[in-house]
Amino acid sequence: MKRYLILISGRGSNMESLLDAGLPGVCAAVIGNRPDAAGLALAESRGIATMVIDHRGFASREKFDSALADAIDHFAPDLILLAGFMRILGDAFVERFSGRLLNIHPSLLPSFRGIKTHAQALAAGVRLHGCSVHFVTPALDGGPIIAQAAVPVQAGDDEAALAARVLIEEHLLYPRVARWFLEGRLQLLEGRAHLSDQIAVEGALHVPQLAPQFAQRNSA
């Protein structure tokens, strides 16, 4: 059975969605870069091994990356899932785990890379926003996109409202993509995400319907 490992920095809501999904594999460990990350206690309560590698204890990004990579290798995962892991990983780290390192980003990449994506989307006046799951490469939020979920931007949205709508789709999309990988249907080939059958490709874009209250408002 394949093994996956999750990296977190905070509350771990995407981590929880992965653990709840009944993935075809074993969660080998959850590693956090902050000792106060709430997701660590949640993982421990489920009997999952946890580890803290506090980035503040290292003199350089490279030394932190090296320690983190060594810890990951100890658990020998087939797949590494970044789930709200708020650290930029260096080129050497990314190349070490190339092809088995996934991230979920709260925007429809390549738009709105980096942080404060919901504020960026609102400032740009886009009508659709969402999230993307991608393979991690040295380019920040620039790896091959695997799947995306789109949500409508509603009149009167603020960052919190838009973020909450996107988060619902993150919790649906990320476990789906992780499942594809663990089932051997997803891989990185020649710099592109490759899904082994057309059903997976057709299911890659998930556009949720409007919530009932919005549908009623738009039909009025």
Residues 11, 70 within the same domain: yes
Structural domains in the chain (count): 2
The answer to whether residue 206 is catalytic is no
CB 84 within 8 A of CB 15: yes
pLDDT of residue 209: 46
- On the 0-12 / 13-18 / 19+ scale of CB atoms within 10 A, 3 is middle
Model pLDDT for residues 101-142, shown as the tens digit of each residue: 999 999 999 999 999 999 999 999 999 999 999 999 999 999
Single residue among 47, 74, 97 that ends a domain in this structure: 97
Whole-number CA gyration radius for the chain: 18
One of 105, 129, 134, 171 is an active-site residue; which one? 105
Q: Which residue range(s) make up the domain with 186? A: 105-220
Q: How much is the mean pLDDT over the chain?
A: 91
What does the pLDDT look like over 37-94, one tens digit per residue? 999 999 999 999 999 999 999 999 999 999 999 999 999 999 999 999 999 999 999 9
Among 7-11, 206-210, 215-219, the minimum mean pLDDT is found in: 215-219
Q: What is the DSSP string of 32-54?
A: ESSTT-HHHHHHHHTT--EEE--
CA distances from 4 to 72, 87, 202 (A): 10, 19, 25
In what helix (H) or strand (E) does residue 12 lie, and over which residues does it extend? none
Q: What pLDDT shows up at residue 196?
A: 84
Residue ending a domain, choose from 68, 97, 126: 97
Residues 35 and 86 in one domain: yes
pLDDT cut 90: percent of the chain above it:
88
Question: Which tens digits make up the pLDDT trace of 144-200?
Answer: 999 999 999 999 999 999 999 999 999 999 999 999 999 999 999 999 999 886 444
| Secondary structure (H, E, C), 135-167 | ECCCCCCCCCEEEEEEEECCCCCCHHHHHHHHH
Domain of residue 71, CATH code:
3.40.50.170
